[in-house]
Structure 1
């Protein structure tokens, strides 16, 4: 039997990146401010984790305006959705193997 740990993705080891991906997988898009409030992190911390996920090709962003205010929204890419599903499936297998 293959060890499920082999399918864990280091990109999702961090609770902030795990939170970002969890929010994006279940929503079409989420604004920067919504993510910041949901995950309860500072601007700098959130920005660095978003950049990491973007560089890996797991998320994408779109800049727009609400009135005169800039609004940045994030969404998960197909590659990100696939990688996250593999990671979550591996976690579930690990948990089930302990039962």
Structure 2
């Protein structure tokens, strides 16, 4: 039988990725600026972690212009929501012993 620690999703190992997913699950979509401010991150730090989550298929990115200003928003994909919930369930099992 696999120990519960081995069921944790490595994509969420880093605190920034854990934070990104937590914010995205609490909201339908979040702009780059809102996410950056909510997690107190630099542009580059947020961009690299979101890119990793996007590559894993956990985050969907929407880019558009509001007037002449670019606006990027993020949302959790269906597979991202499921994977994050499974990760949280594994964490809960680990905490319960």
Give TM-score, length-normalised by structure 1.
0.92
User: What value does the CA root-mean-square deviation take over the aligned residues?
Assistant: 1.2
Question: What is the aligned partner in structure 1 of residue 20 from structure 2?
Answer: 20
Question: What is the aligned partner in structure 2 of residue 29 from structure 1?
Answer: 29
Worse-matched range after superposition: 31-40 or 1-10? 1-10
Q: How many residues align?
A: 97
Gaps of 5+ in 2: none
**Which stretches of structure 1, 4 residues or more, deviate above 6 A after TM superposition?**
none
Gaps of 5+ in 1: none
Question: What is the aligned partner in structure 1 of residue 71 from structure 2?
Answer: 71
Question: What is the aligned partner in structure 1 of residue 46 from structure 2?
Answer: 46
Cα distance in 1 for residues equivalent to 2:41 and 2:15: 11
1:43-99 deviations in Å (ceiling 9; x for gaps): 1111000100000000011012223211100000111111101100000111111xx
Give TM-score, length-normalised by structure 2.
0.94
Q: CA deviation at 1:2?
A: 4.8
